[in-house]
Amino acid sequence: MAFVTRQFMRSVSSSSTASASAKKIIVKHVTVIGGGLMGAGIAQVAAATGHTVVLVDQTEDILAKSKKGIEESLRKVAKKKFAENLKAGDEFVEKTLSTIATSTDAASVVHSTDLVVEAIVENLKVKNELFKRLDKFAAEHTIFASNTSSLQITSIANATTRQDRFAGLHFFNPVPVMKLVEVIKTPMTSQKTFESLVDFSKALGKHPVSCKGLLASLWASEKGFWNSHHPHYSPSQSNCMAGPD
C-alpha cells in the first residue's frame, strides 16, 4: 500500500547524537502569536507543561476572550486530572494561567524568547510581514515556527534572515487533546533547530513526527485521504505515511 512504501514522515527517534544534543536549545520561554483556536491551545499546553508564555494578538478584547477560553479549557483538564483533589485542580489552573502573559505588540516581547510559534491568519503576505518585523527584534538564538496548514514553510522562512532557525510546527485541533505534532524541516532548517523543536514538542507531552518540506497532512488531504482540520489520524498511521513524488 502507498502508505507503507516510502517513509515520508517518520517517527522521531530519541537517538540523536550526543554532540548534536549538546547544541540544542532548551525552550523555556515561548511567544505564541495569534490567540485564536490554535494559538490559545498552544499557549495553554505550553503553560501547563512549565513554560512561560506570552500570548500575542491584535487587540486586548481578543486576548481577554482567548484567556477566558484557556481558563475554561484548563478547568475541564483539572476536573479530570484532579478529580480526587479539587483544591489541587484549582491550584493547577491558577498556576498555569499565571504563566501566560499577553501583549498586543509582538515586537516588544520577543527580545528574550526562545521560541516564537505563529498561529495567525492563513495568509502568506501577513505571515511574511510579521516574521520580517520580528526578525529584527528577536534574540539571535530565537527559533521561529509557523503552525500553517497549507503554506510552504520555506516561503515564510524566506521573509527572515534566520532560515536555519525556522521550521514548521503543525499542531492539530483541539491542541490540548491531539497528541500529534508535525515538525517540518526545510532545506535550510538546522539540525539543532529541528531537534530543539522535537524536544519542545515532547516536553508538551506530544508525539512529534518529522516532515520534510511539505506537511504530510496537506499532502494526504490533497490526495483525499483525510481533511487536515478534522483528522481521524494517529501517530501510527503517520509513521508509515508515504510522501509525494
Ligand X SMILES: NC(=O)c1ccc[n+]([C@@H]2O[C@H](COP(=O)([O-])OP(=O)(O)OC[C@H]3O[C@@H](n4cnc5c(N)ncnc54)[C@H](O)[C@@H]3O)[C@@H](O)[C@H]2O)c1
The one segment of 72-80, 91-99, 165-173, 179-187 that binds ligand X by CB under 6 A: 165-173
39 binds ligand X (CB under 6 A): yes
Among 9, 30, 33, 169, the residue binding ligand X under the rule CB under 6 A is: 33
What is the closest distance, in whole angstroms, from the C-beta atom of residue 96 to ligand X in the complex?
A: 20
Q: Are 116 and 143 in contact (CB under 8 A)?
A: yes
The one segment of 17-25, 36-44, 72-80, 190-198 that binds ligand X by CB under 6 A: 36-44
The grid coordinates listed for 136 are: 529584527
How many Å apart are CA 113 and CA 52, to the nearest integer? 9
The smaller minimum CB distance to ligand X, of residues 148 and 160, is found at 148
My answer on whether omega of the bond before 244 falls inside 30° of 0, hence cis, is no
The smaller minimum CB distance to ligand X, of residues 78 and 100, is found at 100
Among 6, 21, 50, 58, the residue binding ligand X under the rule CB under 6 A is: 58
Among 37, 124, 214, 240, the residue binding ligand X under the rule CB under 6 A is: 37
149 binds ligand X (CB under 6 A): yes
The one segment of 47-55, 159-167, 170-178, 204-212 that binds ligand X by CB under 6 A: 170-178
What is the closest distance, in whole angstroms, from the C-beta atom of residue 2 to ligand X in the complex?
A: 24
Binding residues among 89-148 for ligand X as defined by CB under 6 A: 119-122, 126, 130, 147-148
38 binds ligand X (CB under 6 A): yes
The DSSP annotation for the chain comes to -HHHHS-SSEEPPS---HHHHHH-----EEEEE--SHHHHHHHHHHHHTT-EEEEE-S-HHHHHHHHHHHHHHHHHHHHHHTTT-HHHHHHHHHHHHHTEEEES-HHHH-TT-SEEEE---S-HHHHHHHHHHHHHHS-TT-EEEE--SSS-HHHHHTTSS-GGGEEEEE--SSTTT--EEEEEE-TT--HHHHHHHHHHHHHTT-EEEEEESS-HHHHHHHTTS--TTS----HHHHHTPPPP-
The smaller minimum CB distance to ligand X, of residues 8 and 172, is found at 172
What is the closest distance, in whole angstroms, from the C-beta atom of residue 43 to ligand X in the complex?
A: 11
177 binds ligand X (CB under 6 A): no
152 binds ligand X (CB under 6 A): no
Binding residues among 210-239 for ligand X as defined by CB under 6 A: 229
What is the closest distance, in whole angstroms, from the C-beta atom of residue 9 to ligand X in the complex?
A: 16
Please return the burial class of 35, using the count of CB atoms within 10 Å of its CB with bins 0-12, 13-18 and 19+. buried
Residues that bind ligand X in the complex, under the rule CB under 6 A? 33-39, 56-58, 62, 119-122, 126, 130, 147-149, 171-173, 229
